[in-house]
Structure 1
Amino acid sequence: MATVRPSTVLGRQLGDELRKLREAAGVSMAQAAEALDCTKGKISRIENGHVPVRTPDLMALMHAYRMEGPESQQRLLALARRANRRRREGWWHQYASLLSDTYVDQIEMESICESIRTYQVQLVPGLLQTEAYGRAVTVASRAWQTAEEIDRFVRVRIARQERLTSENPLEYWVVLSEGALRQQVGGPDVMRAQLQHLMNMAQQPNITIQVLPFSRGAHSGMFGPYLLLAFPQMTSLDLVLTETPTGNIWIEREAEVACYQALFDDARMASLPPTESLTLIQRVAKEYGS
């Protein structure tokens, strides 16, 4: 399956018009966020065309920016409808009935972000999973019951991985707890192949893999997995996705995002350098036999 990134031209056009309206009205980004009861990060992503704009939000922004004239308002509403329809052409929307809203959001954000940094405690992250490993994780999650649902979800996970090898590949920096190497998922053969896949992917120039060994002891980032997503525009604030058993949660408030940035820096500094990490991965892979 070819991964087709949805055009964000219409979204950027809408966002650019909203930014000009906001600035012309003398409304700060913080004041716009207050009008939507959201964060400045969301306003930034709207203005950069990264997220769809719901009709109630668009109406609230036009009111906050004192936009007059029904014709102008209708034009922006029509542009928003076209942009949102175009977004729904992303390949992942054919699986929308299978996926949670947060997971759909994650795939869409992956398609447009510039880099992801992630810390994983016990599992290899989805973008680096082999099909067999991903299937074992999917079965164990009990989120999908039938063989067809499991097959479809695994296909989604494999399709997401094309973001790492596309024409404009994602910069991907992964810190794995040693536990992710030793948590046996799918049996020794699956684990050996998975660790070999990690070593192969680490050769890609856009992928960095570090392992945080058990010997480092307690550290600030040991309390759960998370992803930090960064976007091309300098004005676009980072996003954090935290992973929980009952559903993933987006975090976008600047102070909280900064906390996770510091946690990731602590984790990577405590980890083995990439070359030593590969040596440890290779050693653990041998422990699973040949």
Structure 2
Amino acid sequence: MAGKDPDRGKTITTVLGRRLGGELLRMREACDLRQTHAAEALTASVTKVAKIERGQVPIRDPDVRALCHLYDEKDEAVIGKLLALAKADRGRRKAKGWWNQYPQLAAMVEYVALEDIATSIRTWELAFIPGLLQTPDYARAVAVGAGSWEDPREIEPFVEARLTRQARLRSERPLELWAVIHEGALRQLVGGRDVMRQQLGHLLDVATLDTVRIQVVPYLAGAHAGMIGAFSIVSFGEPGALDVVHMDVPSSTLWLESEEDAARHGRTFDRIARVGLAERNALDLIDTIRKEM
């Protein structure tokens, strides 16, 4: 995750800005044009064009259209997608989100900021319950188990921030969430039996929301496409129209920002969902495991 602290008023890059800049760069190079040509079309400096292509500054709709005209892009669907991307990026940059008061979220600030303006998220989890579905005790146990906090007092603000994120699920513009969870995450005794029993009950409760869909991939599914690792697809429109992919790796957070990467992970998610239990059966399994605890 690249960029400087937005609160300091300095140039920053954003995931959406880099996605848009990368698309515009690809279009320019396909036309064998230089940044000077783009600068002339925008009546701007070459430096500004370079910043646009690196995702460091927002871009206005007229400038998007001017560049599309220069690059001989006439497909309204393509132009519309770029305009939607520019609008979403401007919204992300203007947001003065609640997350800025939680330094404990420093490593996740870009994800949380995008989650706040997203329309839907598809998430695949192997090892634990997705953050948007965690109870306070479960989130606390995950934080303690991670062992990465130098000061244990930072855990409570982290838990509080995680609960604040969950407000999107019940807001006036609810986030659509499709979570596919491996059975192993349901059986892992995070925090002990009481914590897990409460957590599984919470899943059953949240699943009653019209905008939340929960599936489970059972052990009996055998080998499947999701064994390579967990990921989330964050959408800013209809799924597939404007997506970015988020993955956590041991040393950092990884964003896959290209349209090709998003489409590939979308297909992978669909394959995982197909081997998962139907929603009703998934909830029955969750309830059965809860009762066993």
Answer yes or no: is 1:264 the counterpart of 2:265: no
Matched residue, 1:76: none
CA distance in 2, matches of 1:287, 1:280: 11
Secondary structure (helix, strand or coil) at the match of 1:118 reads: strand
Answer yes or no: is 1:92 the counterpart of 2:137: no
Matched residue, 1:6: none
Tell me: CA distance 1:153–1:45, structure 2 relative to 1, closer, same or farther (3 Å): farther
CA displacement, residues 139-188 of structure 1 (integer Å, 9 cap, x when unaligned) = 11122232321111111111000011110101100101001101110000
Report matched runs for 1:95-134 at 5 Å. 95=102, 97-101=103-107, 103-134=108-139
CA distance in 1, matches of 2:239, 2:292: 45
CA displacement, residues 40-62 of structure 1 (integer Å, 9 cap, x when unaligned) = 9x96665223258xxxxxxxxxx
Moved more, 196-205 or 230-239: 230-239
Matched residue, 2:224: 219
Secondary structure (helix, strand or coil) at the match of 1:243 reads: strand
- Specify which structure has the bigger relative contact order, considering alpha-carbon pairs within 8 angstroms and separated by 6 or more residues: 1
Equivalent residues, number: 232
Matched residue, 1:143: 148
Matched residue, 2:245: 240
- Verify the 8 A CA contact 2:218 2:276 in the aligned structure 1: yes
Matched residue, 1:57: none
Question: What are the ranges of 5 or more consecutive residues in structure 2 without an aligned counterpart?
Answer: 1-16, 18-57
Pairwise CA distance, 1:107: 0.8
* Aligned-residue identity in percent: 38
Matched residue, 2:60: 15
CA displacement, residues 235-270 of structure 1 (integer Å, 9 cap, x when unaligned) = 952111012222221102222222211111111110
- Verify the 8 A CA contact 2:88 2:236 in the aligned structure 1: no
Task: Please report the TM-score for the alignment, with normalisation by the length of structure 1.
Answer: 0.73
Q: CA RMSD in A?
A: 2.6
- Verify the 8 A CA contact 2:240 2:266 in the aligned structure 1: no
Secondary structure (helix, strand or coil) at the match of 2:65 reads: helix
Matched residue, 1:25: 70
CA distance in 2, matches of 1:234, 1:276: 25
- Verify the 8 A CA contact 1:224 1:243 in the aligned structure 2: no
